Structure 1
Amino acid sequence: MAAISSFLSLSLSLPSNSKPKPTPLHYFRYSSLPNFLTSNSPPTLQSPHTTRFTIRATAASGSANQVKTKNERVQRVHSIEEFDEALRSAKNKLVVVEYAGMKNDESSQIYPFMVELSRTCNDVDFLLVVSDESEKTKELCEREKIEKLPHFSFYKSMEKIHEEEGIGPDQLVGDVLYYGDSHSAVVQLHSREDVEKLIDDHKADDKLVVLDVGLKHCGPCVKVYPTVIKLSRQMSDTVVFARMNGDENDSCMQFLRDMDVVEVPTFLFIRDGQIRGRYVGSGKGELIGEILRYQGVRVTY
């Protein structure tokens, strides 16, 4: 990895006012499951040739207790025992849990979107807990410390990995893609050795490698990820997209330190085994512009 180390000081000279503010790496060291997604901006590509990445609900508005669809994949649980068994049965799959209320308007609005999303994400399990259904569901919500509805919790291997309150459809889609991605064209990297192998594999094919470096609970990282997925499918002939979460393990965090990554998301641009530059931020248009620039397309800002 000598080639990587020799390019640590490279950065891109975008105008300062064009860079969205990234999240400092040190901010996450002592935080636990924070709620970062506060933007209402939908995760869309800034291009007339792409489509808006939004799930549209087809079910009529109504409480979570009333919405029923023929192919519904949302499992409703009624007790702590059912909840724990659902998490065990999911094993290492992503489990998305909505805690809703029968008379809660926000629950009524978001639930149809979760139903629609469940139909397209077969590798994700979706659970519904209606907090005011019974004493047993109240006990479950008390155990999970649910204070505000609707509330979404994300689990893998029975471990809570993320949670959100009061989110809209676009944030829900972004979270599911970010935490449950197992089928996209984005290569998932889990160690420094994975990075080295990816770089070696593409030294000779002239493909640009775009490495998305982030953290598990980083709102800007989640926000930009649907764009990364879309680009990975559209540019598969010339660009390889990969992702690493620095706080997944010690090897990943050491890689971030070695690469002098101090804010996330950071995108490293690698060609011929060498880091050619980086972009720090979650601006979709700026990211696309930098990728095009490293492919030899003239870009002006």
Structure 2
Amino acid sequence: IRVFRARPAGLSDCRSQGGRKTVFQIHTSISTLKRDFFCPRNHGFLNDKRRCLRFRNSAFSGESSEEAFARRLRESQDVEDRVQFVETIEGFETQLDKAGQKLLVLEISSDEVCQTGTGEDPEYYWEEDKKASLEPCITLKHVFQRCARNCPDTVFVAALDNETENSRKLMDYLEVRYTPSLFFYRAGKRVWKVEGVNDAANDLGEGVLFYGDKLVQSSHPTSEWVPTISSKDQLQQFLVEQPPNLLAVVDVSTSDCNPCVHVFPAVVALARSLEGHVKFARFLCDSNSTETFRELGVVEVPTFIFYRGGAEVLRYVGSSRGDLIGKILEVQAAAGIQPPPPPPARGWRAR
């Protein structure tokens, strides 16, 4: 078993029994998706600053200082236009009603505290230490603003956790336990939450991808590569539509499952890089859909069910990206199908 670490390291190691070329190809695709999502307009990526810095410096080559200043002003105005600030319960409910069926992401932040969400945050007595402790939350705020600027189909709302009466009432209404927090709403219902700053920047992007059905700076919805199905009839229709020899992989997930959210960027990346060789779909269930789980034989989520010619050939239970890739290569190799050639390199070389 060989282990290769892709850049950036925000996605876990890839462990596979396949060859180096194939594993590198798949990881390149996943890394490209992470770069495209978290480096909108190539403004930097939390886990790989040098790489995105190179993209950023080349993105506006030939731009004068006046043009750069004007661009930054436009981008700042875009953020102000895209992020709606609320101070009261009524203001939040108004934004929730206006969002309708769109995904709404609410950021709870503070100018005074930056909690990890583990319940073990130390007390700071020196001003320098306190200032340093706020840096991760400042970074998260910048990521939130970039996502707001580049995700026009998602509604972004921000609220400040302070000592005012309206703020306390709003925090109690939202049941805020840690600051910062990110709450995801769909059709007026909270579908996911992220509490504390630890990994919140990555969680924000993964949540927008999972619930929002859109890649940043892409006119194509995620469902173009990974269609969402929600019934046994739709599953049968999906399987009937696939060519007899094409491998179909169905990701059985629930909307409140953290591992399901975290593995979904890899699923989308695989669907894009293996287009024409493997077809993916997402069977999104409610956590109370016991009858559906019974019919599918699913006990845990995420569960990936592999079909060929409409018949199940394998299933994998878990959220390891490397193991999922390994299972795909295993099934294809058993059928005598070679993996597709690797895509051309995009912006970086493996070291």
**Counterpart of 1:84?**
93
User: Which of the residues 134, 159, 164 maps onto 2:189?
Assistant: 159
With over 3 angstroms needed to count, the CA separation of the structure-2 counterparts of 1:226 and 1:215, relative to structure 1, is same
CA-to-aligned-CA distance 1:60-101 (integer Å, 9 cap, x gap): xxxxxxxx8232122212222221111111101111101111
RMSD in angstroms over aligned alpha carbons? Answer: 2.6
**Helix, strand or coil: the match of 1:42?**
coil
Relative to the length of structure 1, the TM-score reads 0.75
Structure 2 CA distance, aligned partners of 1:103 and 1:158?
30
Contact 2:232/2:292 (<8 A) preserved: yes
Contact 1:94/1:180 (<8 A) preserved: yes
Contact 1:45/1:227 (<8 A) preserved: no
Q: Structure 2: any 5+ residue segments left out of the alignment?
A: 4-8, 15-22, 45-74, 114-133, 215-220, 340-351
Structure 1 CA distance, aligned partners of 2:308 and 2:12?
27
Is 1:107 matched with 2:125?
no
**Helix, strand or coil: the match of 2:98?**
helix
Contact 1:95/1:125 (<8 A) preserved: yes
Contact 2:177/2:195 (<8 A) preserved: no
**Range with greater deviation from structure 2 (48-57 or 81-90):** 48-57
User: Which of the residues 129, 134, 149 maps onto 1:119?
Assistant: 149
**Counterpart of 1:290?**
327
The aligned runs of 1:52-63 (5 Å cut-off) are 53=34, 55-56=38-39, 58=43
Structure 1 CA distance, aligned partners of 2:286 and 2:108?
27
- After TM superposition, give the deviation of residue 298 of structure 1 in Å: 7.5
Contact 2:104/2:185 (<8 A) preserved: yes
**Range with greater deviation from structure 2 (214-223 or 87-96):** 214-223
**Range with greater deviation from structure 2 (221-230 or 127-136):** 127-136
With over 3 angstroms needed to count, the CA separation of the structure-2 counterparts of 1:265 and 1:164, relative to structure 1, is same
**Helix, strand or coil: the match of 2:24?**
coil
- After TM superposition, give the deviation of residue 137 of structure 1 in Å: 2.7
The aligned runs of 1:8-47 (5 Å cut-off) are 42-43=10-11, 46=14, 47=23
User: Which of the residues 68, 78, 96 maps onto 1:71?
Assistant: 78
**Counterpart of 1:186?**
226
Q: Which AA in structure 2 matches 1:173?
A: G
- After TM superposition, give the deviation of residue 176 of structure 1 in Å: 1.8
Is 1:225 matched with 2:261?
no
Contact 2:85/2:157 (<8 A) preserved: yes
User: Which of the residues 167, 188, 195 maps onto 1:137?
Assistant: 167
Structure 1 CA distance, aligned partners of 2:143 and 2:211?
18
**Counterpart of 2:302?**
265
Structure 2 CA distance, aligned partners of 1:232 and 1:83?
37
**Counterpart of 1:238?**
277
Structure 2 CA distance, aligned partners of 1:129 and 1:154?
14
Q: Which AA in structure 2 matches 1:243?
A: R
**Helix, strand or coil: the match of 1:149?**
coil
- After TM superposition, give the deviation of residue 245 of structure 1 in Å: 2.5
CA-to-aligned-CA distance 1:153-208 (integer Å, 9 cap, x gap): 11111111111201421122112212222511111011111101101111x35321
User: Which of the residues 234, 252, 257 maps onto 1:213?
Assistant: 252
With over 3 angstroms needed to count, the CA separation of the structure-2 counterparts of 1:94 and 1:237, relative to structure 1, is same
Contact 2:244/2:308 (<8 A) preserved: no
Structure 2 CA distance, aligned partners of 1:149 and 1:193?
43
Relative to the length of structure 2, the TM-score reads 0.65
- After TM superposition, give the deviation of residue 44 of structure 1 in Å: 5.6
Aligned length: 250
Structure 2 CA distance, aligned partners of 1:176 and 1:45?
23
- Percent identical: 30
Contact 1:42/1:171 (<8 A) preserved: no
- After TM superposition, give the deviation of residue 248 of structure 1 in Å: 5.9
Is 1:128 matched with 2:138?
no
**Counterpart of 1:177?**
209
CA-to-aligned-CA distance 1:86-120 (integer Å, 9 cap, x gap): 11111011111011112232432311011112233
Contact 1:79/1:140 (<8 A) preserved: yes
**Counterpart of 1:149?**
179
Q: Higher relative contact order at CA 8 Å, sep ≥6: structure 1 or structure 2?
A: 1
- After TM superposition, give the deviation of residue 279 of structure 1 in Å: 1.0
**Helix, strand or coil: the match of 2:77?**
coil
Structure of greater Rg: 2
Q: Which AA in structure 2 matches 1:234?
A: S
- After TM superposition, give the deviation of residue 228 of structure 1 in Å: 0.3
**Counterpart of 1:275?**
312
- After TM superposition, give the deviation of residue 240 of structure 1 in Å: 1.3
**Helix, strand or coil: the match of 1:264?**
coil
